[in-house]
Structure 1
């Protein structure tokens, strides 16, 4: 994967995963994103460059923030809608990519339900075409991982070795959790805790180096940051949880529960939220919540990544 993402000179060719990406590369993207927030955006950096949001799954925040990022850099943005495309007639994702590529499009932001789908498309792309993984299966969501790290950096500083971070919920099926774990390990987080029902926890390899528990109250003690994950409601239909009420009782973040964390602990959530299930509204909208800052940071992070991949 690293050779597919990075060329012989160390330049980023595609962004498919944060796993294996060097610390210097992650930090450089975070610093560039912060510089953009501070007023350092080049509004014409991608003038005349075609960028297509190639989404085969629904999205709100990711799709719109990538569109906003590309537009702010001056790119020509094409929005692909699988529901109204030739995909419904049987055209493959690869044929779709190659046809749009033939129109002179150089940047593709791809979301797909299959693990590894974006990497397979990247391997087949023309030289000079760049693919950004906007979420594939359960594997990775690298720009979400980056925006989460930027949000933590803003709140807690750049020294992650002092941080105790807790990830809560359906880690097993979460590409966001995997990208967050990759980034937190690379940035040297002091302690990574993972909590959720046993049925929603992944294999030991995914959780290497983490403190794993099913006791949410115990896991909360003294943490500096909480990353709450959306409970994917289809898991109830699959029998992986008993009920939404039981899940909220055991793993829902309430204002009372949050008191167990450090006094200055912050709360993150990638969205969309199930209010009253994994998080209560008074926490999601409360003073410790950085959820909307995550959304705002997403635009700057995606601008930084688009710049890195598509400017020459």
Structure 2
């Protein structure tokens, strides 16, 4: 069995469902211990939720962790990601969780390490564990995926979350719609006016405006962005009674989502965060379980 997790595009639907089943089992109290395993968490970009939920997952499974702090490492001397990963392998790490600003950084590691790599996010490319926790949250809410309508709205062109989710959601039978300002659109997709379709959606997934990835600072201000493209009390009132609001976080409050909406009745943002721990337990188990070599 493959132990790496680079992208959900490389997993069959049955493998995705198996990971979701294991994550739910962990949420329901099942345990899986790996007390002799050490995981290296190599985060070359800032992270709170992904980094800390991996650490929490590792602790719940009895693992030890080694965390890289780029500012105090040999990266400042010009060491490559490949050589950093080989260093962790050489000194005894059993698995690596890596986040990098480079799209598909993992291609430089594929087949060159004897330990598994779990992708914690690559540039604007993929974020497989975020997609898994989103799917777990949706399955908890609706029981299945087939036929659900989801609107993904916001900074689509820069979002690894959007790129991961669109592909896997469509494979699972969901109908995916997009809404975004022109500056955040990708030419290959069809875009909709949010107000025209929001009442038909089962899930509205807002995306963070990724200011740090913009080559030119956006001229759009917070208030006008939320009015035209964000989630607020007015748009919440247009949603179906059974519909839910999601966001991968961190939330730029006032931009994508106004303060009063972040934790409203329809919001599942906090549940997404909680589910992140159980999903990351599932992918760690997959990577380190005996027989997965």
In the superposition, the TM-score normalised over structure 1's length comes to 0.89
Assess if the C-alpha contact under 8 Å between 1:146 and 1:183 holds in 2: no
Q: Which runs of 5+ in 1 are unaligned?
A: 1-10
Output the CA distance in 2 between the equivalents of 1:125 and 1:241: 44
Output the CA distance in 1 between the equivalents of 2:206 and 2:242: 17
Structure 2 matches for 1:173-212, cutoff 5 A?
173-189=158-174, 191-204=175-188, 207=189, 212=191
Assess if the C-alpha contact under 8 Å between 1:151 and 1:294 holds in 2: yes
- Call closer, same or farther: CA 1:51–1:202 in 2, change over 3 Å: same
Deviation at 1:219, TM superposition (A): 2.8
Q: Does 1:267 align with 2:252?
A: no
- Call closer, same or farther: CA 1:250–1:275 in 2, change over 3 Å: same
Counterpart for residue 73 of structure 2: 85
2:18 to 28, 31, 50: 28
Deviation at 1:36, TM superposition (A): 0.6
Counterpart for residue 7 of structure 2: 17
Deviation at 1:244, TM superposition (A): 2.5
Structure 2 matches for 1:7-156, cutoff 5 A?
11-42=1-32, 44=33, 46-126=34-114, 129-156=115-142
2:155 to 151, 161, 170: 170
Paired residue secondary structure (2:96)? strand
Q: Which runs of 5+ in 2 are unaligned?
A: none
Deviation at 1:277, TM superposition (A): 0.8
Q: How many residues are matched? A: 290
Assess if the C-alpha contact under 8 Å between 1:149 and 1:183 holds in 2: no
Counterpart for residue 230 of structure 1: 208
- Call closer, same or farther: CA 1:234–1:80 in 2, change over 3 Å: closer
| 1:243-300: CA deviation from partner (whole Å, max 9, x where unpaired) | 3232111011011112222111111111110111110121111111111100100000
More divergent stretch after superposition (93-102 vs 227-236): 227-236
Deviation at 1:122, TM superposition (A): 3.2
Deviation at 1:177, TM superposition (A): 0.6
Output the CA distance in 1 between the equivalents of 2:100 and 2:264: 33
Deviation at 1:240, TM superposition (A): 4.7
In the superposition, the TM-score normalised over structure 2's length comes to 0.95
- Call closer, same or farther: CA 1:19–1:203 in 2, change over 3 Å: farther
